[in-house]
Amino acid sequence: MRRFIRDIALFCGLLLLLLSSVDLAFRLKLRSLRLDPQIATVIVGDSHTQTGLDDSIVPHAVNISHSEEHLLFSYQKLALLLSRNPGIRTVVLGLSFHTFSANYDSLILRSHRTRETYPTYFPMLDYEGRRFLLLSDPVGVVRSVGAIVGREIGELALARRYADYSFWGHFYRSARNNLNEKTVAASIRGQYYEPSGGLQGFAVYQVLYLKRIVRLCADHAVTLVLVNVPISPQYAARVPQKFIDNYYATVASIVGRGVVFLDYHDLALPADWFGDAHHINAAGAAFLSRKVVADIAKAQR
């Protein structure tokens, strides 16, 4: 029996050593990467900036937005980049009315969606980020260990630049137009209402990490530009007022020196420039990207 216990302990120890070695190699490789030194603007956020801001139009910019990205992960990505790429002078962060609904915190805690988000993001998190998820959702993290390690091994073998990593994100170019009553109703229901039909509460961790992003940018003397991208009038008319009020109160609490707010939610655009109820397509993104460049320049004069 003692020998069996010893063999099990030895096996577990060797397995832990192997996993730790893979993780260390991943982190060292990731932290050795650098952006093109000409990159001065980083665009980050969820699908609104992913579809709304074209980094081929914004000068010296890279769009690293990722669909349904929680601000915890945006913060971690920016912490990684700002400490190693001193040429970054501006961060453009997408914030929309639904950003502060409780639905967003479910992306990182006790949700079936963590089966994808944990393998995507956990490998690049620092100690504080990992500790937060382990304490908040230990079952979800442990359940995802195999997928996390598998992702690390795959990206260790294949990734050569930031864009090769699954957490990175990119501008999503689409010419589609799917703005109709069905997409409006589905988006409103999923982003602001509980399955039971009542209104959701507000996200807690989204606000916490937004404030950390503000401090991070200030520490690196980087201008933070908050952008509320255009949404269709049909969608805007159905956003519950409490989320609109909470949104503007939250933004007002952080806007100030070094933080600029550009609100385009009611920007008049042709209907065929919307990909769906609350995303613009490539035509809308081309227009918005040029407008954002001009408005940032005005704000920084």
pLDDT at 162 over 70: yes
Query: pTM here?
Result: 0.92
- Which residue has 């908040």 as its token pair? 136
Q: For strands 41-44 and 90-94, give the pairing.
A: parallel
Q: Note the pLDDT tens digit of each residue in 216-250.
A: 999 999 999 999 999 999 999 999 999 999 999 99
18, 40: one domain: no
Average pLDDT in the 96-111 region? 86
19, 78: one domain: no
Average pLDDT in the 146-164 region? 91
Q: Band of the pLDDT at 108, cuts 50, 70, 90?
A: confident
Helices (H), the chain: 2-31, 47-52, 71-82, 102-105, 114-121, 127-136, 138-143, 145-158, 181-192, 205-219, 233-236, 241-252, 282-299
Check residue 12 and give its pLDDT.
Answer: 44
15, 90: one domain: no
12, 142: one domain: no
22, 150: one domain: no
Q: Note the pLDDT tens digit of each residue in 186-198.
A: 999 999 999 888 9
* Residue range of the domain that includes 21: 1-32
- What mean pLDDT is reported for the chain? 89
131, 280: one domain: yes
Average pLDDT in the 48-52 region? 96
Q: Note the pLDDT tens digit of each residue in 199-221.
A: 999 999 999 999 999 999 999 99
199, 106: one domain: yes
CATH assignment at residue 164: 3.40.50.1110
Average pLDDT in the 62-73 region? 96
Check residue 14 and give its pLDDT.
Answer: 44
C-alpha distances in Å from residue 278, one per residue of 33, 191, 215: 34, 11, 29
The region of weakest confidence among 63-67, 106-110, 192-196, 216-220 is 106-110
Structural domains counted in the chain: 2
98, 200: one domain: yes
What's the rounded Cα separation, in Å, for the pair 283 and 267?
Answer: 14
59, 16: one domain: no
Average pLDDT in the 50-58 region? 97
215, 255: one domain: yes
Average pLDDT in the 140-152 region? 89
24, 115: one domain: no
Backbone angles phi, psi at 266, to 5 degrees: -110, 20
Check residue 178 and give its pLDDT.
Answer: 82
